[in-house]
Amino acid sequence: MWQSYSNGLLVAIGLIMAIGAQNAFVLAQSLRREHHLPVAALCIFCDAVLVAAGVFGLATLLAQSSVLLAIARWGGAAFLIVYGSQALLRALRPQSLQAAQSKPRSLRAVLLATLAVTLLNPHVYLDTVLLIGSLGAQQTEPGAYAAGAASASLLWFGTLALGAAWLAPWLARPLTWRLIDLGVAIMMYSVAAQLVFDVL
């Protein structure tokens, strides 16, 4: 049991720590201190559900359906381009950044954005459902493996949310925000480009 748990923990933490759209979003919300703990909790929940779905059978279904993978790929690329463009505009217009700081979004709006950045990103499905899920389906204790992968998500997003909030007084300066938004835009565009060029 512990071997399967450890395998799930190590595989998931290795994948989850890579810079991606979800991590960038959680970091940005944490630096703003804008509903960062609910955002992290929702990411943890989504990862746990997707890993469990992959471990217990969905990995096989998605691997056999080119249509579902194509929908996820193109929809995700479109979302990443739109989100990256919004971040780029904030980086180029400091006044829009200040307006965003003075008018915080509602919890509902932030959680909907969290769901979008999580569920419209095809890499989330490739990592959690296909890769982690297919490895978990081969474990002697698939349930323990899924629990280990969920624990990795809990550790990572919890640390990201709490650590960034602690650093917020030093990091929440206009120039810092512009650089963060620029980095988010570059990362979003690069992930979208990777999705598109993988097909072409």
Do 193 and 109 form a contact (C-beta atoms < 8 A)?
A: no
- Report mean pLDDT in 10-residue bins for the chain, 200 residues: 83 71 83 88 94 78 71 75 83 55 78 91 79 73 88 90 74 70 79 74
> Whole-model pTM?
0.69
Q: Over the stretch 188-198, which tens digit does the pLDDT of each residue have?
A: 788 778 778 86
Report the pLDDT value the prediction gives residue 58, as an integer from 0 to 100. Answer: 64
- Residue 111, classed as helix, strand or coil, is helix
Could you tell me if residue 146 is left (phi over 0), alpha (psi between -120 and 50 degrees) or otherwise beta?
Answer: alpha
Which pLDDT value is given to residue 151?
A: 93
Model pLDDT, residue 99: 35
pLDDT tens, residue by residue, 108-128: 999 999 999 989 887 788 778
* pLDDT reported for residue 102: 45
Domain regions of the chain by residue span: 2-199
Longest Cα pair distance anywhere in the chain, in angstroms?
56
Q: Is the dihedral of CA 123, 40, 7, 13 positive or negative?
A: positive
